[in-house]
Amino acid sequence: MTTVMDPEVRAPARARRAVGGGRARASRRARPARGIDRPGAWPYLLILPGFAFYAAFVLLPIMETVRLSLLDWNGLTAPEWAGLSNYVRALTDDATWQAGLVSLSFIVFSCLAPVSVALVLAGLIARTRIRGLTFLRFVYFLPYTIALAVVAIAWRWLYATDGTINQVVRTIFGEEKVTAYLGDADLALPALGLVAFWAMFGFVTVMLLSGTQHIPRELYDAARSDGAGPIREFFAVTVPGVRQELRVSLVLTFIMALRTFDLPLMTTQGGPGYKTTTPSLIMYRDVFLNMQIGRGAAIAVLLTLFVGAGVLVINRLFRSEDG
Partner 1 sequence: MVSKRENAITYAVLYTFGFFALFPFISTLLVAFNPPTGAAKGLAIPSPWSLDSFIQAWTDPMAGIGRSMVNSMIVAVSVVAVSVFFSILTGFAFGTMKFRGSKFLLALFVLGLIVPYEATIIPLYYEFRAIGMLNNYWSMILPCIGGSMAFGTYWMSAFFRSFPRELIDSAKSDGANRWTLLWRVIVPTAGAPIFAMATILFIWTWNNLLLAIVMITDQKLQMAPAALNYFVGRQYGAASYQVTCAGALLVALPVMLIYYVLQRRYGSDALAGALKG
Q: Which of residues 49-68 bind partner 1 (CB under 8 A)?
A: 49-51, 53-62, 64-65, 68
C-beta of 102 vs 206, nearer to partner 1:
206
Interface residue with partner 1 among 102, 191, 245, 264 (CB under 8 A) is: 245
Interior/surface letters 293-304, b for 16+ CB within 10 angstroms, e for the rest:
bbbbbbbbbbbe
Binding mask 22-41 for partner 1 (x = CB under 8 A): -----------------xx-
Our finding on whether 317 is near partner 1 (CB under 8 A) is no
- Residue 281 and residue 265 in contact, taking contact as beta carbons nearer than 8 Å: yes
Our finding on whether 301 is near partner 1 (CB under 8 A) is yes
Our finding on whether 70 is near partner 1 (CB under 8 A) is no
Our finding on whether 308 is near partner 1 (CB under 8 A) is yes
Q: How far apart are CA 295 and CA 264, in angstroms?
A: 21
Our finding on whether 20 is near partner 1 (CB under 8 A) is no
Reduced to 3 states (helix: H, G, I; strand: E, B; else coil), residue 24 is: helix
Q: How far apart are CA 34 and CA 26, in angstroms?
A: 13
Our finding on whether 99 is near partner 1 (CB under 8 A) is no
Largest Cα separation within the chain, whole Å, is 89
Our finding on whether 289 is near partner 1 (CB under 8 A) is no
Interface residue with partner 1 among 241, 277, 284, 292 (CB under 8 A) is: 284
Our finding on whether 266 is near partner 1 (CB under 8 A) is yes
Q: How far does Cα 22 stand from its chain's mean position? A: 47
CB of 211 to partner 1, least distance (A): 8
Q: Between residue 172 and residue 211, which ones bind partner 1 under the rule CB under 8 A?
A: 198, 201-203, 206-207, 209-211
Binding mask 122-161 for partner 1 (x = CB under 8 A): --xx-xx-x---xxxxxxxxxx-xxxxxxxxxxxxxx-x-
Handedness of CA 49, 53, 56, 60 (dihedral sign): negative
* Burial category of 276 from C-beta neighbours within 10 Å (exposed 0-12, middle 13-18, buried 19 and up): buried
Our finding on whether 251 is near partner 1 (CB under 8 A) is yes
Our finding on whether 6 is near partner 1 (CB under 8 A) is yes
Give the Cβ contact number of residue 95 at 10 Å.
16
Interface residue with partner 1 among 82, 196, 265, 276 (CB under 8 A) is: 265
CB of 58 to partner 1, least distance (A): 5
Our finding on whether 292 is near partner 1 (CB under 8 A) is no
Q: How far apart are CA 249 and CA 244, in angstroms?
A: 9
Q: How far apart are CA 165 and CA 181, in angstroms?
A: 10
